[in-house]
Chains A and B, each alone.
Chain A
Amino acid sequence: MSAAHPHVLVVEDEPKTRESVAEGLRLEDWRVTTAVSGDEAVQALERAPFDLLILDWMLPGMDGLALLRHIRARGNHTPALLLTARRAVDDRVAGLEGGADDYLPKPFAFAELLARCRALLRRPVLSSGAALSCGDLQLDTRTRTAQRAGQSIPLTPREVDILEYLMRYQGQNVTREMLEREVWKQTRRFTALDNVIDVQMMRLRRKLDDGGAEPLIHTVRGIGYRLGAAPA
């Protein structure tokens, strides 16, 4: 596995989705190969090893699940993320049983796709150690205390959870959906949490950036939030 520049195969027949996903991953300095059908994907897999597969379920000819079964039967265990516009829980189960390592329903935010890919590549943005830091901000996940420029910041348990999540994904965009699922542990998309997240982030930001320090939490319009230095 090329640790710095993972090689990803994107199999998707819808051109705009395929190209935008490929482009997004290339911006992360990943090597990306694309295929528009299951057969083309099989050929690509025969030519070169990949670190990760991103597969659409519905493909012309051999569909994503069939492709997955095909290559798994031949001993190829490259991690695979299955994309699908289908929602039923049974489909999810079928996908995971068919050899997919993760399952992402469409429509998805690119930030979320990236986060899932990183998880499959076992490349968390930061080590899962107890001490996380970003600039002059430190978070000790064991004692659940935060400090900025040596000043301790009083945080509620939920704020600690959010901050830990943001710090693990620092420099990456984090969507509201990701926060809802990972921090609030909500499994349903229909929730009344949108406003709660906004208010919660506002408070957290106020606490962290208190006293005119350089802002660390940024709102990315139309996407979500990002922790880190100001956007380029």
Chain B
Amino acid sequence: MKAWWRSRTLRFRLALWYALGGAFLLTAFSAAIYLYVAQHLAIGVVLREELAAIEARLAVTPEGRISWDGRELAPGAAWPAEQPWFELWDEHGQLVRRLWPLAAGQFERLPPAPPRDTETVAVFSLAPAFPLRALSRPYAVPGRAQPWMIRVMGAHEPAAEALAALLAIILVALPIVVTLLVAGGYLITRHWLKPLERMARQAESITAENLGQRLPESGAGDELGRLAATFNRTLGRLEDSFRTLDRFVADASHELRTPLTTLRSVGEVGLRRGRTEEEYREIIGSMLEEAQRLHRLVERLLELASAEGGGQAAAREVVALDELVAACVHDLGILAEHNDQEIIVTAVPCRVRTDPVLLRAALQNLIDNAMKYSPAGATIRIAVTAGAGECRVAVTDAGPGIPAGQRARLANRFYRAEAARAGGGFGLGLAITQAYMRALGGRLDYAPVEPTGSCFSLVLPGPEEPTR
């Protein structure tokens, strides 16, 4: 049932809701009217109101004199038809006065005496086709120990017939009204949902191949207009990532093909003629080197994809930034010595809450780059500073710097400044560093250095107050 309901169109479901809701409300409304009318047409209610009116105008003295509106009613006085009809019976069950416009001998029967001491509603007929309805109740007369009875009467019009007519009207009209409601609801819903259907059709035709297409935006501020705008923004982002992915695949396939080509050609050429064992060792060693190079490249690509995809479960702990820098320099310092370069560290004590493994990898990478691109004899400066809300590790090299036109592409995958292309490496280091910094909630900054060189900075939120 649930599955069936969900498989219906929104239009159908809305129309059905209209129908059910409308039918329910109308039925409730009709039932309320019917009950109200039935209640008020009921004998007791009307007679009780009449009786109250009579009691307000009637007065009976202890001696049994009766007055109406303050004027005494003489026995046998004529009673106008427009006045309410009523009787007074005394405590002995004797009729005291019957006030109605009818002549006494007009009927086969006269109204019987009302039962005493209780309120009674009764219908009796005085002649065929002349039913009377009556309400009797005790009537206290001042100065008398026992109450009299008062009975109000009226010609009995069968309210049941009127009610039956009302019921018939309701039963016939209700389905018609509900049908109109459903039809109207369906048409209106269809009209309003039409743009949605158009959008769905359009969206269906958009695939990875034509991501440039957009949904028509009505410009209206309503929900559908906003939906289209949101959808288009999503498409825009998708298009961007697809484009990045395309570029990445193109670049990656180039980078991957290079070692693969070497691997194949070294192997093939090696087999072209018989060789000494020494030569075979050389050839296999060379192939293994290429395989390792390929392995490292794949590892880095996966690392980058995982960092960019937010797949790095960044552990957070308090790290002393200055100590981390010292440890990295200790690890890599031997390279600087080998290159005859000098690393100078100036650091203030600074603690940040971060993932030490990611941060260390990012920092190693920057220092490695700085050494790689600085000439022999150069000085590499590393500064740890803590400012308002951020901590910064700036690594300044004495390399050729990055030409202004290329700075925007700096952290792109496989980017290497022309001057650096000869230097080896995959050009993935900065992209990975940047992805790490993003995972850590920080960023990678670049600033050119005069007269020549680059300054890369790792910027992290902080500093962390030492916890005691």
Contact = CB atoms under 8 A, between A and B. Distances in A.
A193 B331 contact: yes
Contacts of B288: 221-223
Interface stretch (B140-148, B362-370, B404-412): B362-370
Residue among B285, B295, B313, B334 facing the most chain A CB atoms (10 A cut-off): B334
B171 interface: no
A87 B331 CA distance: 26
Given A196-B332, A221-B286, A187 B357 contact: yes
Residue among A89, A192, A222 facing the most chain B CB atoms (10 A cut-off): A192
B334 A199 contact: yes
Contacts of B335: 195-196, 199
A200 B295 CA distance: 22
Interface in B284-323: 284-289, 291-292, 295-296, 299-300, 302-303, 313
B338 interface: yes
B168 interface: no
Interface string A74-93: 00000000000001010000
Interface residues of A, number: 21
B442 interface: no
B286 A222 contact: yes
B259 interface: no
A196 B331 CA distance: 8
A221 B364 CA distance: 26
A225 to B, nearest CB: 13
Contacts of B447: none
Interface string B341-374: 0000000000000000100010011011000000
A142 interface: no
B295 A107 contact: yes
Main secondary structure of the interface of B (DSSP, over half): helix
B334 A196 contact: yes
A226 to B, nearest CB: 13
B315 to A, nearest CB: 11
Given A87-B302, A196-B335, A200-B334, A190 B285 contact: no
A222 B303 contact: no
Contacts of A194: 296
A221 B368 contact: no
Contacts of B286: 221-222
Contact of A221 (B285, B296, B300): B285
Contacts of B282: 221
Residue among A187, A191, A193 facing the most chain B CB atoms (10 A cut-off): A191
A47 interface: no
Contact of B303 (A189, A196, A200, A203): A189
A187 to B, nearest CB: 6
Nearest to A231: B281
Nearest to A224: B292
B432 interface: yes
A189 B301 CA distance: 11
B429 A203 contact: no
Given A199-B338, A221-B281, A189 B299 contact: yes
Interface string A216-228: 0000111100000
Interface in A87-107: 87, 89, 107
Nearest to B285: A221
Contacts of A188: 303, 357, 361
Contacts of A199: 334-335, 338
Nearest to A156: B334
A81 B409 CA distance: 44
Interface in A195-225: 195-196, 199-200, 203, 220-223
A195 B368 contact: yes
B332 A192 contact: yes
A177 to B, nearest CB: 9
A222 B291 contact: yes
Residue among A190, A200, A220 facing the most chain B CB atoms (10 A cut-off): A190
B331 A184 contact: yes
Contacts of B331: 184, 193, 196
Nearest to B368: A192
A194 B289 CA distance: 13
A192 B333 CA distance: 12
A29 B296 CA distance: 32
B287 A222 contact: yes
Interface string A36-71: 000000000000000000000000000000000000
A196 B365 CA distance: 12
Nearest to B284: A222
A191 B289 contact: no
A64 B284 CA distance: 31
B303 A192 contact: no
A191 B364 contact: yes
Residue among B288, B331, B332 facing the most chain A CB atoms (10 A cut-off): B331
Nearest to B300: A190
A219 B25 CA distance: 90
Nearest to B361: A188
> Closest 10 CB pairs between A and B?
A222-B288, A221-B285, A192-B368, A222-B285, A189-B299, A190-B303, A192-B364, A199-B338, A222-B289, A190-B300
Given A89-B313, A187-B357, A195-B335, 15 more contacts: A87-B302, A107-B291, A189-B300, A190-B300, A192-B365, A192-B429, A194-B296, A195-B368, A196-B334, A199-B335, A203-B334, A220-B285, A221-B281, A222-B284, A222-B287
Interface of A: 87, 89, 107, 184, 187-196, 199-200, 203, 220-223
5 contacts: A189-B299, A192-B364, A195-B335, A222-B285, A222-B286
